[in-house]
Amino acid sequence: ARIIEGTLDGRLIAVDATSGAACRGFGNNGQVDITVGMGAVAAGDVSIGAPPAIVRGVIVTGHQVRSTQRQEAASGVIQGFDVITGKLRWAWDMQQPDRTGAPPLGQAYTRGTPTLLTTPTADDALGLVYVPLGSAAPGQGSGLHDAARQRHANALVAIDVTTGKPAWSFQPVRNDGADDDLR
């Protein structure tokens, strides 16, 4: 048994539930840096502020970004990691829907995309994780958002945890100019 926790500096940490010791086989000595593949990320730009969901052996996490200040904020990529090894199983970059893993060397996940600010909910029987997304960056500038960023902004997206692809999406708020994130 292990405990998985997210940190305010963008890491997932796995510890043994009995001893409290780091699970050495998870990522790099018990830690996974979720900012890998995001390009330049300054300290404090990415933080895991809510518990990740675990379904069918996959840790699904999103994160908060400093998005209200600039359009090219860090990516809102949703990632699925193996609960035992910490290896990336998939990444959903909503503006690169055909890519299912890390970006190629020298490239990054799309910047400024909507983020998961709260706790996702998982359905183990269906193999889905329900991800309530916020607005695209900047948070109060819907006129600056292109159609691809708006497609999943302020939406509830069901992601298949085996593929990392959306099964469906429901967007109750369109062209949000008031930063009304789903929470």
* Residue appearing with tokens 């429901």: 170
Rounded Cα gap, residues 111 and 4, in angstroms: 26
Residues 115, 49, 62, 30, CA torsion sign: positive
First to last CA, the chain: 29
Which residues contact residue 165 at a Cβ distance below 8 angstroms, ignoring those fewer than 6 apart?
92, 97, 100, 159
Q: Which residues are designated catalytic?
A: 179
Amino acid identity for residue 92 in this structure? W
Which residues contact residue 56 at a Cβ distance below 8 angstroms, ignoring those fewer than 6 apart?
124, 127, 161, 162
